[in-house]
Amino acid sequence: MDPADGLLDHPYDVYRRLRDTAPVHRIAGPDGTPAWLVTRYDDVRAVLADPRLSLDKRHAVPGTYKGFSLPPALDANLLNMDPPDHTRIRRLVGRAFTTRRIEALRTPIRRTADQLLDALGPHGTADLIAAYAAPLPVTVICDLLGIPDRHRLDFRVWTDALVAPDPAAPPEAAKEAVVALLGYFTLLLADKRGEPADDLLSDLIAVRDEGDRLSEDELMSLAFLILFAGYENTVQLIGNAVLALLQHPEQLAALRKDLSQLPAAVQEFLRYEGPALLAIRRFPVEDVTIGGVTIPAGETVWVSPAAADRDPARFPDPDRLDLSRDASGHLALGHGIHYCLGAPLARAETEIAVAALLERFPELALADQEVHWRRSLRARGLVELPVTY
Ligand code: HEM
């Protein structure tokens, strides 16, 4: 038997076996091509910080990595780039994606959360993914980018077709959504150029660094990356956090008594059940030795933040949710130069979502003890989260 057998169905059991017996192991990656999977905390952290592991697909041995195709205008994004291009864009973006901008979103996030909870009524049964965890982040992204209210319905339809496709939808649906979104962002960028507003896109258009600025393609790629990186991950983190609480009533009760513990709790939710089973694939620019295994230049390397964050060598009793532990140092938001740009926003959104939910529904409980995870090598998230309240 291969130690990676069962990865889709029981990721944490398989990660344990891999960490113990094959910490740098040959698998078929999410695109079906052969790759290496790295699961121990120290190795994962080291890879994420190692400049010899490139995110640029041009370093892949030709024909070995299929990947996921995006139109060329969108391919030049931060998660396909190395320094110095990455450094340049990240610096420009950093000037617009500020703490002030994220702090300013707190009130609208809470307002949206409250509106979604209002729609549920005082008691009943609901799927919290569809009714709460999904609509909240998409609204936050619209607020962040500055998408006008009248376009939000269309935007949500395209975004869902792209990021969270209906399994029954034809394969062209995602491609059509990319085309629709590309067209939409082109018009939106032109609007914001003509009439800047108080939003991230207007700020991104305006940023200058010693005469340098973001090009049209770079702006477009960033808008898409924020959608891709920011939407689905946040849906999943909110869902995973609520599930973890409902499965651990004693910790839920303690948190309810003192919601000021939420920022630390969110770090533990990220460690215990973070959405990123895999980070972005990397390609060694030269032969590299990881955990004693030499990986030839150009082969595909996947690291698992989720496996690393359950490594007992780093976090004692790692399979236990413990909201009082110090979970900082987890790798659920990455590490090194590609550390999640939206990390403060993702944490703020999850804190607010959980607080609003707990304050509203003192009797919140799982409606179904059987949990349905999505079958994915890359992402840990629930298909649905039926609750009673
Ligand atoms: C719970 C929610 C989130 C999780 C778990 C998450 C996770 C991650 C991880 C693991 C990386 C690093 C990937 C790697 O190095 O391979 C990353 C990068 C990134 N994330 Fe997030 N993310 C979340 C939310 C967000 C949000 C809300 C945004 C934007 C609004 C965002 C934007 C980005 C961007 C732009 C990058 C690329 C940064 C770079 O390459 O320099 N993420 N994220």
Position 173 scores a pLDDT of: 85
Map residue 143 onto helix, strand or coil.
helix
Distance 306 CA to ligand 1 centre (A): 14
Parallel/antiparallel/unpaired status of strands 125-127 and 283-284? unpaired
Q: What are phi and psi of 57, to 5 degrees?
A: -60, -20
Which tokens belong to 78? 């931060």
Instruction: State how far Cα 261 lies from the chain centre.
Output: 23
The residue with tokens 């009714």 is 131
Query: Does 3 reside within a domain?
Result: no
Position 11 scores a pLDDT of: 97
Position 143 scores a pLDDT of: 94
Position 274 scores a pLDDT of: 98
Distance 373 CA to ligand 1 centre (A): 21
Position 63 scores a pLDDT of: 84
Query: Does 4 reside within a domain?
Result: no
Query: Does 290 reside within a domain?
Result: yes
Position 339 scores a pLDDT of: 98
Query: Does 134 reside within a domain?
Result: yes
Closest C-alpha among 212, 181, 224, 189 to residue 77: 224
Query: Does 1 reside within a domain?
Result: no
Position 160 scores a pLDDT of: 85
Structural domain harbouring 295: 11-388
**HSE-CB for 216 with a 13 A CA cutoff:** 11
Query: Does 247 reside within a domain?
Result: yes
Query: Does 2 reside within a domain?
Result: no
What number does the ligand 1 atom closest to the CA of 225 have?
35
Round to whole Å and give the CA distance between 27 and 59.
20
**Where residue 340 sits, what CATH number does that domain have?**
1.10.630.10
What number does the ligand 1 atom closest to the CA of 303 have?
16
Question: Is the bond into 84 cis (omega within 30 degrees of 0)?
Answer: yes
Mutate-to-test residue for ligand 1 from 199, 204, 333, 339, highest number of ligand atoms within 8 A of CB: 333
Number of domains in the chain: 1
**Site residues for ligand 1, CB cut-off 6 Å:** 48, 78-79, 90, 225-226, 229-230, 233-234, 237, 274-276, 279-280, 305, 332-334, 338, 340-342, 345-346
In order along its 389 residues, the chain shows pLDDT tens digits of 899 999 999 999 999 999 999 999 999 988 888 999 999 999 999 999 999 999 999 999 988 888 776 777 788 899 999 999 999 999 999 989 999 999 999 999 999 999 999 999 999 999 999 999 999 999 999 999 999 999 999 998 888 888 777 777 887 888 888 899 999 999 999 999 999 999 999 999 999 888 899 999 999 999 999 988 889 999 999 999 999 999 999 999 999 999 999 999 999 999 999 999 999 999 999 999 999 999 999 999 999 999 999 999 999 999 999 999 999 999 999 999 999 999 999 999 999 999 999 999 999 999 988 999 999 999 999 999 999 99
Query: Does 100 reside within a domain?
Result: yes
The helix (H) or strand (E) run that includes residue 150 is none
Position 69 scores a pLDDT of: 67
